[in-house]
Amino acid sequence: MKVDKLHPLQNIVQLQKKGVPTGVYSICSAHRYVIQAGIRQAAENKSLLVIEATSNQVNQFGGYTGMTPLGFREFVNKLVGEFGFPKDKLILGGDHLGPNPWKNEPALQAMDKARVLVKQYVLAGFTKIHLDASMLLGGDLAVDHGQLPPEMVAERAAVLCKAAEEGYEELLQVNPGATAPVYIIGTEVPVPGGTEHEETLRVTRVEDFRETVELSRQAFLAHGLSRAWERVVGVVIQPGVEFGDHSIHEYDRAEAQEISEALQEYDRLAFEGHSTDYQRADSLKEMVEDGVAILKVGPALTFVMREAIFLLQYMENELLAYSQDLQASNVMEVLDTAMLQDNQHWVRYYHGSAHDQSFARKYSMSDRSRYYWTDPKVDDAVRRLIRNLRTVGIPLVLLSQFMPVQYWKIRNGQLKNDPEELIIDRVFEFMADYQNATSVGTMR
């Protein structure tokens, strides 16, 4: 019988159990600038690079990025190869893999598609698999607070895991050395993209955490997935973090103490924290010390990327104000027009007056604009912005005004004065807090 070699995340969990406060942060983004920044951060620190795609972003039908799991892998591998980053340090993950994209379809049909989805992720070489079958599907009967019964959530997750394991067995036929996937279970997370309703925020109850683990264990074993159960490394909980359009619910380790202590009952499990975006550096470090070995971050990264692009447009406006030779990119205006023409990704999230919605489309921390950077007109505008600034050159005085950190890096010979390099470095700087939080330190 084949013995599964330990996955890097299993090694991290083992260190956690020995009292070493270490972990990883997971980049949940499909944007090239964000991924390039992550590659550089991991290369500088000689750390693991974890990049994830969600079932809505990437699936067998293309998702909103237009990429299948194999296509996403090739996209990331191309960026990794261009930088020369070692591929054995790269972990591809699938986030919220399950029937969510088809939740309005009949349950059997949605689950059939979800099984294909999970299997394709594993066949494409994704080795960190978050199984999420928590959503109501067509024909389902809700129970407490409109939710699916926890026994059914666990049962469906096990069905998805079986499909993943079938995919792994097929993968071994063509790649005998393929790393076995590890699994994340549990789904108690904030509303995707954040929410303003902080009064609903509650740290996961210990009894709910224990129930999730036990029901999942029983379902896995009932489906003959004992070896797969040994590769369950994390449970998604709500540790008490949240963000909305203009607000952040800060981590309070005192509120999370009980659930953190309960984790010690399990020798192979760590916590995965979603929506850790915008948390303070010390809070991120405390979360890792308290057992949240996997810090997920997504919207904050494209939020910072958007900031950088907007800052470049401000500089472009100054430089082209009296130019007759170059056409301004008007990125902000083009982006807003795209969002107004196709409002499906933001209209349910941004409320209030027309001014409030306009402001949120630009500046909201939930960053629903992240869905529009691949729009052809928006992408063309960004490319024009880059070309314009390369043509005229960005003077140091404008860099000092709008990007002082990057200004000093350029002055010190640490960064090239190039618009794309400026965007990537802005995201790189933001990632430093996550890198520092997950690096080995001293447990309190």
- Does residue 299 carry a pLDDT above 60? yes
CATH of domain 303-433: 1.10.400.20
More confidently predicted of 322 and 58: 58
Please tell me the predicted confidence (pLDDT) of residue 321.
Answer: 87
Please tell me the predicted confidence (pLDDT) of residue 197.
Answer: 46
Share of the chain above pLDDT 90, in %: 91
Mean pLDDT of 244-263: 96
Mean pLDDT of the chain: 94
- Does residue 188 carry a pLDDT above 80? no
Mean pLDDT is lowest, of 13-22, 146-155, 205-214, 290-299, for 146-155
CATH of domain 8-297: 3.20.20.70
pLDDT tens sequence across 203-250 = 999 999 999 999 999 999 999 999 999 999 999 999 999 999 999 999
Please tell me the predicted confidence (pLDDT) of residue 440.
Answer: 72
Spans of all domains in the chain:
8-297, 303-433
Please tell me the predicted confidence (pLDDT) of residue 326.
Answer: 94
pLDDT tens sequence across 32-67 = 999 999 999 999 999 999 999 999 999 999 999 999
Confidence class of residue 393 from pLDDT cuts 50, 70 and 90? very high
Please tell me the predicted confidence (pLDDT) of residue 263.
Answer: 98
pLDDT tens sequence across 92-147 = 999 999 999 999 999 999 999 999 999 999 999 999 999 999 999 999 987 766 78
- Does residue 194 carry a pLDDT above 50? no
Please tell me the predicted confidence (pLDDT) of residue 146.
Answer: 73
pLDDT tens sequence across 395-419 = 999 999 999 999 999 999 999 999 9
Share of the chain above pLDDT 70, in %: 95
Write down the pTM of the prediction: 0.94
- Does residue 3 carry a pLDDT above 60? no
HEC sequence for the chain: CCCCCCCHHHHHHHHHHCCCCCCEEEEECCCHHHHHHHHHHHHHHCCCEEEEEECCCECCCCHHHCECHHHHHHHHHHHHHHHCCCHHHEEEEEEEECCHHHCCCEHHHHHHHHHHHHHHHHHCCCCEEEECCCCCCECCCCCHHHCCCHHHHHHHHHHHHHHHHHHHHHHHHHCCCCCCCEEEECCCCCCCCCCCCHHHCCCCCHHHHHHHHHHHHHHHHHCCCHHHHCCEEEEEECCCCEECCCCEECCCCCCCHHHHHHHHHCCCCEEEECCCCCCCHHHHHHHHHCCEEEEEECHHHHHHHHHHHHHHHHHHHHHHCCCCCCCCCCHHHHHHHHHHHCCCCCCCCCCCCHHHHHHHHHHCCCCHHHHHCCCHHHHHHHHHHHHHHHHHCCCHHHHHHHCHHHHHHHHCCCCCCCHHHHHHHHHHHHHHHHHHHHCCCCCC
